[in-house]
Structure 1
């Protein structure tokens, strides 16, 4: 059934076709959706219906699994019921939005026992053709995969890998719940190989100043807190006065994203900022509040995007980029990767090395110059001519592009030693792209 709300407050509905094969053959979910939108867009229905409005944050799977045949849609719905209880709210919401945009249209009607590599191949093709959708904007038009840049292919590969990870969790939950009689359906759920691209969208101190000038007073406090501590917006939103200087020269951060609690050391400048933020507040009061006097959660997004545009920064820069700015600044000025990992709350240095390790090259050069002990007076040439030659080599690097120094350049999205073993059908989709082999 398709149903629309009329302007007089009543509903009008239309039968689209049978969902079950009883007296008549059933129609597929995709067919029902197509018929529904065709009906919605007819002149008579448009004239009598109220204007569509977004109802707010997505809270459920956009599919109604029915029937005795256990489909991928059934499995996703069951998994989300468990995920809402077991996972963090942010992780659950990210999975839900990815499912609704990518998985529901392509896979929800497929019986889970019949899922195979060809279905995963269709999903890979769909991911390549569908540009990312942000917020409540209308889905963008499909694109030709052959027109994608290397970076766009890399991002779509990572999206595909995220979807494969979600499907593996969904199928495993179905298996453990007794809805799968064998593991065959999810044996084909393998990720594709993709190289890691270091973070380059972070700010210089001058750019930080421009951003702070473009922020409202309450948002400015939140941005400064992130730049001083490297904390996530959710961690900052949970900070209370009692967390400042409780365990030492810094702030105590509560467990977040299933990670343990940690203590973040602060520079003197940052410690002063956090102590000032405590002035006039009670021991249990939240440290940072929005313009409406509520703890920061997700309401910062639009305000931050506006400030980024006003400051003339790259539109791709999001609040999480402040965390990258914090880490990049520490690495570029000689902090060890282990120190940065502990400050950010990572279990080990691997993530930090993959994300910011290229910045350590600048400090590696400086440390080699400073720490190497003299070996031969013959080559310890301090003449003016030799010093000019050495300086000419250093001057080849543009000091304005310090963030890109030693940045690995590659025309392929494949890593040197791919560990992923995707199915042949999926590999055919990505291998056909120009330059990606």
Structure 2
């Protein structure tokens, strides 16, 4: 329960009696941002008010109830100072949630409440993947288990929910009706769920959703909205859900692909191969973010909201010097042929066309350039921790999962090539005599 904040001008009946009738409204701090409790004295007594800041130096004021100036507080129509503070906070919270499109907080605190609070928190932090997480939550979490009270959630609830994801076909993207009435219709892909690869992908989807659910519930637990994290802590992701090892290009294949690209897209691909950066990061690079002295390019905000400095090779530095030459510090380093910025999805068609001209199949996407940088770096002996930092991962787990086998291959090749040899010829008689002992 929030503590009572004293205000000696209005927190007792005797103090309020000293206020002249018709005097200006007196406001008291509620201990929350953007809201105050107000008191206005009239001929027949006083009233409690809620004042909320609505932006542009404007406030909205509404009456809450009568003050207990003439009658004793009944907790409904007549309120004491303490009761008025509690109602004002509750009303402010409800209005704030409504304005943000969040569910009503009255009643039990449900899984839907937990997800809404978590996503709102991440949005305030400036997280880059909030929109995607919100879409996934609204599609697969809230409709299925959103109504369950978070404190009563069990491991069985979660396991059953994950199993349902696995046995349900993937959803198709659909649009809401043009008249704006009602949600978008739900339709599913026509897939063979008995296919091992389709089943693996559904397990991978369930595992990703479990991660989003756990993030929301952990936030609720840290905020004190649920008493324990035991229910979801016990639930483990499905095994054998990871994709097959990622395809990457050899140096010769990468050169062939760049030569098949045209204009500004060729430069975009070359920058991707030199940095391992994501498409969205490349599209946002500005001239001021390339540090020629340090030989780095600064990613201000990556997928996880973290900034980092990508270290460039001599070849990469030369590329970025050439791309930045003659441009203003605020200009984008990489641009389309017409000078416009690379927007979401603009790379798909030129990538497909370049891959076809270079003789590659549909498995060569733009993201493969990031995998190529990482794979070749690991095989050339760059430590996984360094590769992880350049890619922008919080730790090495993702890199170890996708590229760890390449590091092992590099170690094996290095040992076979450089480990000492002693010039001892294989002699079967020596081995047999040792065995006889």
Please indicate, yes or no, whether the TM-score normalized by the shorter chain is above 0.5. yes
Stretches of structure 2 lacking an aligned partner (at least 5 in a row): 1-98, 176-185, 428-437
Distance 2:273 2:328 in 1: 24
Residues 1:221 and 2:267 are matched in the alignment? yes
Distance 1:75 1:140 in 2: 27
Q: How does 1:31-50 map to 2 (within 5 A)?
A: none
The residue number in structure 2 matching 1:271 is 317
**Secondary structure in structure 2 of the residue aligned to 1:262:** strand
Distance 1:207 1:143 in 2: 33
Residues 1:124 and 2:162 are matched in the alignment? yes
1:104 maps to which of 135, 142, 145: 142
2:254 maps to which of 205, 208, 212: 208
CA displacement 1:277-336 (0-9 Å, x = unmatched): 112211232201245644435233533563366345443444322111111122233444
The residue number in structure 1 matching 2:114 is 75
Stretches of structure 1 lacking an aligned partner (at least 5 in a row): 1-59, 381-437
Residues 1:199 and 2:237 are matched in the alignment? no
The residue number in structure 1 matching 2:276 is 230
Contact 1:221 1:288 (8 Å CA) reproduced: yes
Residues 1:241 and 2:280 are matched in the alignment? no
Contact 2:379 2:406 (8 Å CA) reproduced: yes
**Secondary structure in structure 2 of the residue aligned to 1:375:** coil
Deviation at 1:210, TM superposition (A): 4.8
Residues 1:141 and 2:189 are matched in the alignment? yes
CA spacing shift, 1:135–1:320, aligned 2, 3 Å: farther
The residue number in structure 2 matching 1:306 is 352
Superposition RMSD in Å: 3.6
1:367 maps to which of 398, 410, 414: 414
1:85 maps to which of 89, 107, 124: 124
Deviation at 1:189, TM superposition (A): 4.4
Deviation at 1:202, TM superposition (A): 1.7
Deviation at 1:191, TM superposition (A): 3.1
Greater radius of gyration (CA): 2
CA displacement 1:233-279 (0-9 Å, x = unmatched): 232223222333433334344353333422412232x3222111112
Distance 2:385 2:230 in 1: 41
Deviation at 1:123, TM superposition (A): 1.8
Distance 1:369 1:178 in 2: 56
Deviation at 1:226, TM superposition (A): 0.4
Contact 1:70 1:179 (8 Å CA) reproduced: yes
Contact 1:239 1:253 (8 Å CA) reproduced: yes
More strand by share: 2
Distance 1:364 1:183 in 2: 41
Contact 1:129 1:142 (8 Å CA) reproduced: no
Distance 2:339 2:134 in 1: 29
CA spacing shift, 1:313–1:279, aligned 2, 3 Å: same
Residues 1:378 and 2:378 are matched in the alignment? no
Deviation at 1:346, TM superposition (A): 4.1
Distance 2:101 2:367 in 1: 28
**Secondary structure in structure 2 of the residue aligned to 1:200:** coil
2:217 maps to which of 143, 147, 171: 171
Q: Which has the higher contact order (CA 8 A, sep 6+)?
A: 1
Distance 1:234 1:95 in 2: 17
CA spacing shift, 1:114–1:318, aligned 2, 3 Å: farther
CA spacing shift, 1:338–1:166, aligned 2, 3 Å: closer
Contact 2:171 2:187 (8 Å CA) reproduced: yes
CA spacing shift, 1:209–1:126, aligned 2, 3 Å: farther
Deviation at 1:108, TM superposition (A): 2.6
**Secondary structure in structure 2 of the residue aligned to 1:251:** strand
2:306 maps to which of 225, 241, 259: 259
Residues 1:355 and 2:393 are matched in the alignment? no
**Secondary structure in structure 2 of the residue aligned to 1:352:** helix
Distance 1:253 1:191 in 2: 32
